[in-house]
Amino acid sequence: MTSLQQRSSGLVQRRTDASRGAEGGREIEREVIEPEFEEDSDSSKDTRLTLMEEVLLLGLKDREGYTSFWNDCISSGLRGCMIMELGLKGRVELEKIGMRRKSLLNRKLVYRSDSPTGDVMLDEAVKHVKDTDPPENIQTWVELLSGETWNPLKLHYQLRNVRERLAKNLVEKGVLTTEKQNFLLFDMTTHPLVNSSSKQKLIKKVQDAVLSKWTNDPHRMDKRLLGLIYMAHASDVLENAFAPLSDDDYEVAMKRVRELLDLDPEQECMKPNANEVMWGTVAAFIK
């Protein structure tokens, strides 16, 4: 199998605020719930895309409306996006470290919260993790969600028609449309791009992350954007975002991506505010 490794929402921190009562100046304690994990930075719910949708959008041919037939990485890459997004949203986490330290690839993925994510496939994946005992590690989950298992008892974990379901999500969000194309021997449903500005914003966001807004420190980057770069590379679609660049900018962008790929996830996950599931997913794809 192809090698596999923002914010989120989930658990809450509680704070007590004191407010004045309308009568008698009484102080009333009011409980305020603050999310420990933040949601995506895009404030527009209409155009907010999941990591899976962003990776698929980068891989889709604008006019043809389908991904390259030669790309055999995107299937597992999209499943990796699911795991990473669930970790960034605080729905899953890696098992705690005991006296004997385990590597990221050996630690099990465990359920943390089943509050709705707003995406049906992500919610399906959370349910699988929640219902599985004993738990599995990240690489095994990527294989199970992709249907890459010889165990017939675990085939029900496979999430089917992922690309088609993601494309339909993008149609509902006004980014793609649906057409039928004839390929000599068969008809195929395709999803050409209709909202080019959405894709251009996505491409510019990825380009800026390794060019004009490069921080030279992954922990100063937006976690979700960092995860997107890793998963776009794992899905073999990152090149599409860099194709419009000049030769000089392309060389700089690829050099910085290589710097990210050369990082050791085991070391990075131990740094302050690191997301272990994100780095675990990176480790599974670049090991």
Give the model confidence (pLDDT) of 235-280 as tens digits.
999 999 999 999 999 999 999 999 999 999 999 999 999 999 999 9
- The yes-or-no verdict on residue 178 having pLDDT over 80 is yes
Sole residue written with tokens 């419009």: 244
Tell me the C-alpha distance between 164 and 121, whole Å: 12
Region 143-171 average pLDDT: 92
> Residue 184 above 50 pLDDT?
yes
Reply yes or no on whether the pLDDT at 90 is more than 60. yes
**Tokens describing residue 203:** 């491409």
Q: Is the pLDDT of residue 94 over 80?
A: yes
The helix (H) or strand (E) run that includes residue 167 is helix 162-172
CA distance 191 to 145: 24
If pLDDT is split at 50, 70 and 90, which confidence band does 40 have?
very low
Whether 30 and 16 have beta carbons less than 8 Å apart is answered as yes
Beta strands in the chain (DSSP E): 12-20, 27-35, 92-94, 109-111, 179-182, 187-190
**Tell me, what's the pLDDT at 129?**
96
Q: What is the pLDDT of residues 49-59, one digit of tens each?
A: 999 999 999 99
The DSSP 8-state label assigned to residue 4 in this structure reads: -
Q: What is the domain class of 51-286 according to CATH?
A: mainly alpha
Residue spans per domain, the chain:
51-286
Amino acid type, 268: E
